[in-house]
Chains A and B, each alone.
Chain A
Amino acid sequence: MAQDALQQQPQFQGDIVESGLLRQLKWNIQDTLVIAWRNLMHIRRQPRLLVLSTVQPIMFLLLFTFVFGGAIEFRFPGDNYINFLLPGILIQAVIFGTTQTTVNIAEDIQKGVIDRFRSLPMGRTAVLAGRTLSDAARGLFVVTLMLIVGFLIGFRPEGTILNIVGAIFLAVSFGFVFSWISAFIGLLVGDVETAQVAGFIWVFPLVFASSIFVDPSTMPDWLRGFAENQPLSAIANAVRGLFFGDVSLQTVLLALAWIAGIFLVFMPLAVWQYGRSTD
């Protein structure tokens, strides 16, 4: 009997590491950092991608300030449009940035890189967490750059340092949770060509029908209801309020609630989709 039981033991007992919870957590973090390192190396090896992806939001900033700014200030005399625009356009910048995530994930699937990762004894969340983490790092870089350019063309925040740090934190963390949505879409479509459109197209109405560029109160009723209550407006309002030290706790909590809500829905959804076969 004992002999039989022994023979049924798996062959590679010695090589297998039984993973306790703590060790699993440690590995998950390590794997996540390895993947994040890999993604950041991509940016380092192809700096023109980073340049291109920062030129776009800066162009938006300049175009909106100088093309529409005059018209908007004409309608609301006394307002300084750049002060209204810049906090919003930070949100637009981090969100447009994460659409690249959809393409990157699809590319990894197409090239078989995801298959290799899935055949390794890695933490289940590491590939996606590493991706969204490196996105957040890129988001922080873009936000910093936009603030510098904004300052040069007349943006003057009035909040305390703590307020401003809070505003940057909100913008970057919203980008982080948003890239879980982008990653999920990338896993769903699985090929680069589709991802290029699928990652981007739905973001446009979301960005424009919000309080990012203009006050939704000027919009027609049917649109205003959506624009005032959608998450991008909640984040933009909180970020804007923080930059000018003029924000209610409720506004900040609403923004945090959206961030937490999106994360809690799309993180498990993306991890689940990653675990499924990609055929």
Chain B
Amino acid sequence: MSEATLQTREAPFITRLFTFRETRAAMAWSIGLYALAAIASGLGAPLFVQAIACAALVFFALNALWSVRESSIAVIGLALVLFWVLLATAAPLLPLRDPTAVSPAFKGLSEVLQIKTLLTYAPDMKLTEAQSALLEKPTWFGYSYEGETYTLGIDHKGRDILSRLIWGAQRVLVWASLATATAYIVGMLFGVMAGYLGGWVDEVISFVANIMLSFPVMVLYIIIITQLGASGVNVIIAVTFASAPGIMRIVRGLVLDLKTRDYIAAAQTRGESAWYIMLFELLPNARGPLIVDACLRLGYTTIAIATLGFLGLGLPPPEPDWGSMLAEARAKGATFHHMIIIPAAALSSLILGFNLMADGLREISLRD
């Protein structure tokens, strides 16, 4: 569109989404309730709190989907992410088996395993009819034993994979978003300082960031986690160390551009303090690109947490999360394909959701 006037009153999408009063209220409510629900489920407590959180989330989900309807990519991405978020939030309400309990079906599976193992040593072995029947039954999707059906099968310890997947989603999402948020707060703070204050502040911050960026991300993760030990808080620390310098650079670049605007000069000429300008004049206007970047970074963080889990350095077992599920499955990968394929596919779909969301939001913001 070359005609400038066609655009003047068209609101940029991102601002539109986040200035809609209802949207903002819905977000505030759902985030608050989500946190409440997380705490409540940790305390093993009232289901109705969690139900309210779920309802608020559904409301927010529909609202959000409606506001990105202009980009089909964003809708698909958001739908994928919301699918997992809703499942994770609703986990306590769903009719799921205990994710850590060994089910009776384990016995049945071990019989199958036994036959399979025998077969690898003696491929020509004659099988009884009962044995052949056992082998023909599915061992994962829709695996059933003594009248009970395990939709996604059970793992090598006989635990229900569906239940572990959904509870695992909760753990992954909580830690990934906490870690990303922490990294964002740190990165934004330093970024806006480096960009706006300039001078030696900028030089020091940029130099430290350069040093941190010189570490390959995975090396940084491995060193931090092996030194501090594997735990959720340490994952947050590692992610902050790895991501904050990148976020800082992006924010710094945006601020360097924004601070030449006249409204910043206007704030300066009315004697505003540097902090007021940074927090209330600059940051709100940087949010567009930052939201896109945050989506991408949520994806990266999810990958990082899962990869750490896969390397055995992530969130500690036995509580399920996708990373530890993968770590446990890896050893058994050759015999239990589904144990590793299911969480890997779930993980990929969530990351795909984040990536598509970022793409879609960028597309919409460019179009406006």
A, B assembled together: no
Binding site for A on B (CB under 8 A): none
Binding site for B on A (CB under 8 A): none
